[in-house]
Amino acid sequence: MNATPQVLAVLDDLLASAAPGERGALWRLAEQGRELDANVVRLPPGGLVGEHQEDLLDVLLVVLAGGGSMRTGSGGTLDLAATTVVWLPRTSRRALEAGPHGLTYLTVHRRRPGLAIGPAPAATVRAPVDEGGEAPCMLDLVCPECGRLSADRAPAFCSACGEPFPQR
C-alpha cells in the first residue's frame, strides 16, 4: 500500500476558528493506520495541567500560542513561549501552567497500542488461583474528553488533552 501525504489541519485557521473560551483538545490526529498521536491543546489564562508522568512514551511539545511555564520533576521551571519546543522523555514528571494569555500547544508521540483482552504473554502466565471476584473497573481512569486511559491511579488532569478528571 502506498500512503499519500495529506494536509490535516492549518494551525492558523484552526486557532482562529476556535471559540475564545474553548479549552482542552482543539484537534486530534485520528487517521486510520497511523503510528503517531498528536493533539492541539488550549489552556485558558492561569489554566493548569497537574503534575503527571508518561511512563511509556517520549512526547514532543510545541508551543503554538500564548505562554506559561512547565514545572519539572527535578524542581526546575521551564519558560514556555510561542515556538518553544520541549522534549519530554518518558518517565519525566511535569506540570503546566498557562500564562496571562493562555497556552496553546501541540503534542506528538508514538501511538499507544489499544487496550486488548486476550491471554497474557507466555512468560507471564501463572497457574490459576481460585480467588473469585471480578477485575476492577477502570472507568474512573478514562479521560471523559479524549478517552485516554491514565496510568496515574488518582489523575487530576489528562496528560494527553489537559482535561480535568471528575473529582471522586
Position with higher pLDDT, 164 vs 8: 8
End-to-end distance of the chain based on CA atoms, in angstroms? 47
Quick one: what percent of the chain has pLDDT higher than 70? 81
User: In this structure, is residue 77 part of a structural domain?
Assistant: yes
Q: What is the pLDDT of residue 168?
A: 61
Expressed as residue numbers, the domain containing 104 is 32-112
Position with higher pLDDT, 39 vs 33: 39
User: In this structure, is residue 57 part of a structural domain?
Assistant: yes
User: In this structure, is residue 123 part of a structural domain?
Assistant: no
Whichever domain contains 103, its CATH number is 2.60.120.10
Q: What is the pLDDT of residue 119?
A: 62
User: In this structure, is residue 124 part of a structural domain?
Assistant: no
Residues 6 or more apart from 81 whose CB is under 8 A from it? 63, 67
Position with higher pLDDT, 73 vs 133: 73
User: In this structure, is residue 100 part of a structural domain?
Assistant: yes
Is the torsion defined by CA of 7, 8, 10, 11 positive or negative?
negative
Q: What is the pLDDT of residue 133?
A: 47
Q: Using one digit for the tens of pLDDT, what is the confidence trace for 70-126?
A: 999 889 999 999 999 999 999 999 999 999 999 999 999 998 766 556 665 555 444
User: In this structure, is residue 106 part of a structural domain?
Assistant: yes
User: In this structure, is residue 83 part of a structural domain?
Assistant: yes
User: How does the average pLDDT of the chain come out, rounded?
Assistant: 82
Q: Using one digit for the tens of pLDDT, what is the confidence trace for 19-37?
A: 878 888 899 988 888 889 9
Position with higher pLDDT, 51 vs 129: 51
Residues 6 or more apart from 9 whose CB is under 8 A from it? 27, 40
User: In this structure, is residue 131 part of a structural domain?
Assistant: no
Count of domains forming the chain:
1
